[in-house]
Amino acid sequence: MGAQLRVYKRRIRSVTATKKITKAMEMIAASRVVKAQRKVAASAPYATELTRAVTAVGTGSNTKHPLTTEAETPTRSAVLLLTSDRGLAGAFNSNAIKAAELLTARLEAEGKEVDTFIVGRRGLAHYNFRERKVVESWSGFTDQPTYADAKKVAAPLIEAIEKETGDGGVDELHIVYTEFVSMMTQTAVDSRLLPLRLDEVAEESSAKGEILPLYDFEPSAEDVLDALLPRYVESRIYNALLQSAASKHAATRRAMKSATDNAGDLITTLSRLANAARQAEITQEISEIVGGSAALADATAGSDR
């Protein structure tokens, strides 16, 4: 009984230490998700207005540009997958990876060759383990991305979209990330960044009662689109990185809260088992004392006779 009680006490100490760690991680994630939410809210207006400006230029001119013109027969696509560098975030990474695999399968079914770009060690590890080709990857900034990180990610993608497919370029650019809806809801989504769907943006603006502004192009619409292309891609990727970071922190907070609650329940169960083992040990000791006392009394009575 004594050995069993020691086992319970050792497990209680271990689980208590784990509970302290998960509680600390929960508090850290809760503080970070608030900051990430503010960054998402601050970056959204710029990305939205830049998209509207590109749409206005695209609809107001007949210029053929990679930003607004779809290839007649697209044969090659690029997919950018955003994951995290660390785990302990529930199904956050697996949902994003699953969405990217479904998108890749759909594009390949359409007869397109897919080049995969990955942000985050978790996504890269998944693809490397399955020996899937990754054109380029980035890591080390997924928890707190900056605009400089977005520019670094966007550079090879912009270069690929500007090249001819025969020279290793792509006709389309897709992005897969986790959209932050609320503290309890984060959804893995895929979106086509390039070419920009002008009709959808125009319809969305009309549904909101917005009117696209009119622009005069100087020196030309093509030069304006050339200048807006990197800004558009960078801003959209930056917003997606921020959304992904906020979603990851929210998922970590939720996972760590669940782990802390489970540790508390386990400590309660182990404490009850330890109390039962202690009570059984005390009962056994009392029984041994009473039995020994009775045996001693019988021995004394026998010697007196």
2-22+258-291 and 23-257: same fold?
no
Residue 246, token pair as written in the block: 């906020």
How many Cβ atoms are within 10 Å of 113's Cβ, its own excluded? 14
Q: Report the CATH number of the 2-22+258-291 domain.
A: 1.10.287
List per-residue pLDDT tens for the chain, 305 residues long: 567 878 888 888 999 999 999 899 889 888 888 888 888 888 888 887 777 777 777 666 666 666 677 777 888 899 999 999 988 888 899 999 999 999 999 999 998 999 999 999 999 999 999 999 999 999 999 989 999 999 999 999 988 888 887 788 888 899 999 998 888 888 999 988 888 766 655 555 555 556 656 666 677 777 777 777 788 889 889 999 999 999 999 999 888 988 899 999 999 998 888 888 888 777 777 777 777 776 667 666 666 55
For residues 53 and 217, the answer to whether their CB atoms sit within 8 Å is no
CA distances 77 to 109, 124, 168, 189, 226, Å, are: 12, 19, 11, 17, 20
Residue 73, token pair as written in the block: 């027969």
CATH class of 23-257: alpha beta
pTM for the model: 0.80
For residues 119 and 241, the answer to whether their CB atoms sit within 8 Å is yes
Measured in whole angstroms, how far is the alpha carbon of residue 128 from the centre of its chain? 18
Domain parsing of the chain, residue ranges:
2-22+258-291, 23-257
